[in-house]
């Protein structure tokens, strides 16, 4: 069996890859593994379970709740809330485990199961591996040791989750948003109620789009992966800025008053300067990934802020932040982590903090984002090649060296193996988009011929 857990839980097409049986079995296995690890010692265990609005989340939530309760875990069902809200509530309620049902920015037919440990932190890899092993043992015939009578878990609807999370968001904002007009694109997702409520309470005039989830329309032509509707709405309403979330609202992208995109790197740059000014940017460092735009790196160097770069994936950003005590990190995709206030990327919090900076400075978002010049970035996926040889091919190495000589200090080249497909990603940045395209095309041709 291939590894069920990816970088962000277990995902697949709901009712095909991710079935009710799998969701139930994984939940029972998680309860047993955490009990083995001593997490439940000395008390009756509790879980927080939430979901995004996908239709499949309804039956998958029922399966997860049944699995946990059958293993003797009391369940607090919080309903439709963002992933970071479930993580926050897991921590603040002192729960032993959190479960979020969502496939984030994926299309509606997909869904996923993501587990949080006590405190609202992502489960350690070794615990995920153990859950998978235990699940497989019992799937193939070994019976579970099941509690009976009063030992079974009880299930309660925890209706205060929405209010507690919104109050938390407002409570950590450095200043109010009075005088700002903001358009919010909620991707017909998990933040459709939370985000407009939080922005309005913080003092902003709010216009919402993509805030009418029906279980089928999540991420459909809207949200952080489709910014055209937001661009148009910001210009139409004369708003100061627009904020876009994905389906589970752990991401945030923005557009300025002219409808121009402000990506995750630019948001990180704005927040890094704001946090340094407030004395909250620990070790004067921000964490990005190897895909962070060269313009971001240049801007941080110019501002005297250290940039630490990790492998691609918010899990690696978070690992670096926790290990070294950094306060701010994230990815170009808009997955921004403010570790003082959240244990995971929080799109609503990020949007609020970005808007707060606009309100506090009186400067436009375009002016603030102008701290960095985003260099054109071209990404080419070279398919059906032997990706294992990309780091050892002399022909590829020579082509990369030649490309780097051509670009000089005003650009860069990055070749990455896909983690899931037989392809190599060729990324080229340059001051000029045509040069970036030309260099990327040449490199892609060499990779194809050398590794095909």
Q: What is the 3-state secondary structure (H, E, C) of 135-202?
A: HHHHHCCCCCCCCCHHHCCCEEECCCHHHHHHHHHHHHCCCCCCCCEEEEECCCCCCCCHHHHHHHHC
pLDDT at 451: 86
CATH topology of domain 377-451: TATA-Binding Protein (3.30.310)
Report how far residue 175's alpha carbon sits from residue 352's, in angstroms, rounded to the nearest whole number.
Answer: 10
Q: Is the pLDDT of residue 232 over 70?
A: yes
> Phi and psi for 187 in degrees, rounded to 5?
60, 20
pLDDT tens track for 244-294:
999 999 999 999 999 999 999 999 999 999 999 999 999 999 999 998 999
* Orientation of helix 161-172 relative to helix 83-92, angle to 10°: 90
Looking at the annotation, which residues are catalytic? 104
Domain boundaries, the chain: 10-159, 163-369, 377-451
Q: Give the percent of the chain with pLDDT over 90.
A: 82
Measure Cα distances from 111 to 189, 197, 261, 441 in Å.
Answer: 13, 26, 28, 35
Give binding residues as ranges.
104, 246, 248, 250
Domains 10-159 and 163-369 share a fold: yes
pLDDT at 5: 83
- Cα four-point dihedral sign 248, 251, 256, 258: negative
Report how far residue 86's alpha carbon sits from residue 63's, in angstroms, rounded to the nearest whole number.
Answer: 18
Report how far residue 136's alpha carbon sits from residue 26's, in angstroms, rounded to the nearest whole number.
Answer: 9
pLDDT at 2: 52
Report how far residue 328's alpha carbon sits from residue 47's, in angstroms, rounded to the nearest whole number.
Answer: 28
Q: Is the pLDDT of residue 189 over 60?
A: yes
Higher pLDDT, 394 or 202: 202
The CATH number of 10-159, from 3.40.120.10, 2.60.40.420, 2.60.40.2580, 3.40.50.300, is: 3.40.120.10
- Cα four-point dihedral sign 9, 15, 16, 20: positive
Instruction: Answer whether 243's CB lies under 8 Å from 184's CB.
Output: yes
pLDDT at 420: 64
DSSP β-bridge partners for residue 12: 111
Q: pTM value?
A: 0.92
Report which of 232, 162, 229 is spatially closest to residue 198, judged by C-alpha positions. Answer: 162
- Per DSSP, 219 falls in state T
Q: Give the percent of the chain with pLDDT over 70.
A: 99
Residue 419's pLDDT band (boundaries 50, 70, 90)? low
- Per DSSP, 311 falls in state S
- Backbone Cα Rg of the chain: 23
pLDDT tens track for 327-345:
999 999 999 999 999 999 9
Output b/e per residue, 407-444; b: 16+ Cβ within 10 A: beeebbbebbeeeeeebbbbbbbbeeeebbebbbebbb
Mean pLDDT, to the nearest integer, of 410-423? 82
Report how far residue 356's alpha carbon sits from residue 345's, in angstroms, rounded to the nearest whole number.
Answer: 18
pLDDT at 1: 41
Hey, what CATH class is 163-369 in? alpha beta
> Phi and psi for 49 in degrees, rounded to 5?
-125, 125
Q: Is the pLDDT of residue 389 over 80?
A: yes
Hey, is 377 helix, strand or coil?
A: strand
pLDDT at 410: 83
Mean pLDDT, to the nearest integer, of 297-302? 95
- Least reliable range by pLDDT among 17-31, 33-47, 231-245: 33-47
Report how far residue 160's alpha carbon sits from residue 169's, in angstroms, rounded to the nearest whole number.
Answer: 15
Give binding residues for Mg(2+) as ranges.
104, 246, 248, 250
Instruction: Answer whether 247's CB lies under 8 Å from 52's CB.
Output: yes
Q: Are strands 261-262 and 253-256 parallel, antiparallel or unpaired?
A: antiparallel
Q: What is the token pair recorded at 29?
A: 């296995």
**Biggest distance spanned by C-alpha atoms of the chain:** 73
Residue 449's pLDDT band (boundaries 50, 70, 90)? confident
Q: What is the token pair recorded at 180?
A: 């700002």
pLDDT tens track for 134-168:
999 888 777 888 999 999 999 999 999 999 999 99
């Amino acid at each position: 069996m291939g590894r069920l857990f990816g970088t962000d839980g277990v995902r697949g097409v709901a009712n095909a890859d991710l079935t009710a049986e799998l969701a139930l079995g994984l939940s029972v296995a998680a309860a047993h593994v955490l009990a083995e690890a001593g997490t439940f010692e000395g008390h009756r265990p509790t879980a927080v379970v939430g979901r995004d609005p996908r239709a499949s989340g309804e039956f998958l939530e029922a399966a997860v709740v049944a699995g946990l309760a059958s293993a003797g875990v009391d369940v607090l069902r919080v309903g439709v809330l963002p992933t970071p809200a479930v993580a926050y509530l897991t921590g603040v309620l002192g729960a032993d485990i959190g479960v979020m049902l969502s496939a984030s920015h994926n299309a509606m037919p997909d869904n996923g199961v993501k587990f949080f440990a006590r405190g609202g932190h992502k489960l350690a890899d070794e615990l995920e591996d153990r859950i998978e092993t235990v699940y497989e043992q019992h799937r193939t015939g070994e019976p579970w040791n099941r509690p009976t009578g009063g030992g079974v878990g009880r299930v309660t609807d925890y209706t205060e989750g929405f209010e507690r999370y919104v109050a938390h968001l407002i409570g950590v904002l450095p200043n109010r948003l009075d005088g700002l007009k903001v358009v919010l694109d909620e991707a017909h997702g998990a933040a459709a109620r939370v985000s407009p409520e939080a922005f309005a309470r913080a003092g902003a005039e709010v216009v919402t789009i993509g805030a009418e989830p029906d279980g089928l329309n999540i991420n459909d032509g809207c949200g952080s992966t489709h910014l055209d509707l937001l661009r148009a709405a910001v210009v139409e309403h004369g708003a100061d800025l627009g904020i876009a979330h994905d389906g589970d609202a752990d991401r945030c992208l923005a557009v300025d008053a002219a409808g121009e995109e402000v990506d995750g790197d630019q948001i990180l740059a704005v927040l890094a300067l704001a946090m340094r000014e407030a004395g909250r940017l620990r070790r004067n460092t921000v964490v990005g990934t190897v895909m962070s735009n060269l313009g971001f790196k240049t801007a941080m160097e110019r501002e005297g802020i250290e940039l630490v770069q990790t492998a691609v994936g918010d899990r690696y950003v978070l690992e670096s932040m926790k290990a070294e005590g950094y306060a701010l990190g994230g990815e170009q995709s808009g997955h921004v982590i403010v570790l003082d206030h959240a244990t995971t990327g929080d799109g609503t919090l990020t949007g609020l903090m970005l808007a707060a900076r606009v309100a506090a400075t009186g400067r436009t978002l375009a002016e603030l984002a102008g701290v960095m010049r985003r260099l054109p970035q071209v990404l080419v996926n070279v398919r059906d090649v032997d990706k294992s040889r990309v780091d050892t091919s002399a022909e590829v190495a020579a082509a990369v060296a030649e490309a780097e000589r051509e670009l000089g200090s005003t650009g860069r080249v990055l070749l990455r193996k896909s983690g899931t497909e037989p392809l190599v990603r060729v990324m080229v940045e340059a001051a000029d988009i045509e040069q970036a395209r030309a260099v990327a095309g040449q490199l892609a041709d060499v990779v194809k011929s050398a590794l095909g």
